[in-house]
Structure 1
Amino acid sequence: MDPTYDDRALVLGDTLVVADLHVGRGTGGNLAFPVGSGTDVVERFRDLVERHDPDEAVVAGDLLHSFRTVPRTVEDTVAGLRSVCRDAGARPLVTPGNHDTMLDSVWDGPTAAEHRVGDTLVLHGHEPPEEEADRYVVGHDHPTIDIEGQRRPCYLVGRDQYRGGDVVMLPSFNRLNAGVEVNRMSAADFQSPLVTDADRLEPVVWDEDARETVSFPQLGEFRRML
């Protein structure tokens, strides 16, 4: 099945995938959770669910940021995400990431290290998968690309990238995350072990105004054009 891109998320048939929500990530100081951030995440998630009517919604890791104790605002946001799924009849599932150390304190729903959707395996991507698949959908690195001085969140699509399978890396769903600029990164610069050849990663940018994606040359060619 061909994926559909939409607002930093991915749709695979009847499955909606988002990654790296980092609920509770602050901007410094004493603010554990800036006002309005949770609402933005929940409302955009609701819009996605309403547009695509998925049977299941998968968070590909780092639902939470890292905490010693979980703020109440984080609990409320996670409850809001679950409420969206419940109202739509979509089964929620989390594939825990490296930041989800406190996940059990706010999430009693289903979890799995990796989740199969047809010929695709969904996981956070901070560790190698145990299973093999034709396609791997991951998060973890929060990719962005600089285009004419403006940094934009992007998906990265790599053919034959890991164990003969394709890799699709999602940008962080949380708009507070500045992300990591990938323009000049090599495979060794990525944190995910599923990236093996950065030159063959194709950036895909979601154009919110046009409601469509814009594809760019693979990073190896893109660098030569700069």
Structure 2
Amino acid sequence: MTLPYDDRALVLDDVLVVADLHVGRGTGGDLAFPVGSNADLVERFRSLTERHDPREVVVAGDLLHSFQTVPRTVEDTVSGLRAACRETGARLIVTPGNHDTMLDSVWDGPTEREYRLGDTVVCHGHETPDSEAERYVVGHDHPTIEIEGQRRPCYLVGPGQYGDSEVLMLPSFNKLNAGVVVNRMSAADFQSPLVTDADRLEPVVWDESRRETLSFPALGEFRRML
């Protein structure tokens, strides 16, 4: 199974996976909502579906941000995501995350606690999975890596994280999420129970300007290089 990376997303054969869209982030409280950020989310999502023409698109948790309210802008954005999938004939599936308590108010499509694709299981990663798999693809922690003072969203790939299984953690698809710097984090610092050995997590950064991935040593070695 090939694992191409693209704009904070992952392609598993003919299935596109994104995590932590947090639609509605910035629409309430004291956080200013940047003009056009909803449109940016939908347009980047649409670009991915057009480039990869997936059979299915799976949201690995936290489609929504708010626990209590769902502004109209959220409904419009979710409709835009649906439309992007419809235009390419992709089936959109949501594996609910811990923020998705209001999901039923904007989503009546397919939901699965855990989505299986061969030996891979996609889930949010905020709780222990029920299914056994060789690989788990998760979100939840919003990983970023700091290099020479600059923070970059990153994927984390680690063998033998959950038992003998590999864990691949996606960055948040929403650019409003600053994320957490993983450079010096231990397993206990991660919120996902699937991370058990942070030293073996290998950061992968998607360079949008060059449209290529940049791979780094596992965090245990990377810390010694700083």
The runs of at least 4 consecutive aligned structure 1 residues that moved more than 4 Å come to: 27-33
SS at match of 1:44: helix
Alignment partners' CA distance in 2, 1:185 and 1:30: 29
CA shift for structure 1 position 41: 0.6
- For 2:187, the aligned partner's letter is A
User: Which residue of the partner structure matches residue 138 of structure 1?
Assistant: 138
SS at match of 2:101: coil
CA shift for structure 1 position 21: 0.3
What is the CA deviation profile of residues 110-154 of structure 1, one whole-angstrom value per residue up to 9, with x for unaligned ones? 001000011100000000100110100000000000000000000
Alignment partners' CA distance in 2, 1:211 and 1:150: 19
User: Which residue of the partner structure matches residue 187 of structure 1?
Assistant: 187
Alignment partners' CA distance in 2, 1:30 and 1:223: 35
* CA separation of 1:5 and 1:28: change in aligned 2, threshold 3 A: same
Alignment partners' CA distance in 2, 1:197 and 1:135: 15
Alignment partners' CA distance in 2, 1:30 and 1:214: 35
User: Which residue of the partner structure matches residue 71 of structure 2?
Assistant: 71
1:178 and 2:169 correspond: no
* CA separation of 1:27 and 1:153: change in aligned 2, threshold 3 A: farther
What is the CA deviation profile of residues 148-191 of structure 1, one whole-angstrom value per residue up to 9, with x for unaligned ones? 00000000000111121101000000001000000000000000
User: Which residue of the partner structure matches residue 4 of structure 2?
Assistant: 4
What is the CA deviation profile of residues 182-220 of structure 1, one whole-angstrom value per residue up to 9, with x for unaligned ones? 000000000000000000000000000110000000000
User: Which residue of the partner structure matches residue 17 of structure 1?
Assistant: 17
- For 2:66, the aligned partner's letter is S
- For 2:100, the aligned partner's letter is D
Unaligned residue ranges in structure 2 (runs of 5+): none
TM-score using structure 2 length: 0.97
CA shift for structure 1 position 35: 2.5
CA shift for structure 1 position 87: 1.1
- For 1:213, the aligned partner's letter is T
SS at match of 1:11: strand
Question: Is this contact kept in 2: 1:33–1:73, CA < 8 A?
Answer: no
User: Which residue of the partner structure matches residue 198 of structure 2?
Assistant: 198
1:44 and 2:47 correspond: no
Alignment partners' CA distance in 2, 1:204 and 1:26: 27
Alignment partners' CA distance in 1, 2:181 and 2:94: 26
Alignment partners' CA distance in 1, 2:55 and 2:128: 27
- For 1:225, the aligned partner's letter is M
User: Which residue of the partner structure matches residue 127 of structure 1?
Assistant: 127
Task: Say how many residue pairs are matched.
Answer: 226
Alignment partners' CA distance in 2, 1:152 and 1:30: 25
- 152-161 vs 30-39, greater mean Cα deviation: 30-39
SS at match of 1:191: coil
TM-score using structure 1 length: 0.97
1:222 and 2:222 correspond: yes
User: Which residue of the partner structure matches residue 101 of structure 2?
Assistant: 101
CA shift for structure 1 position 30: 5.4
Alignment partners' CA distance in 2, 1:99 and 1:45: 20
- Root-mean-square deviation over aligned CA pairs: 1.3
Identity %, equivalent residues: 80
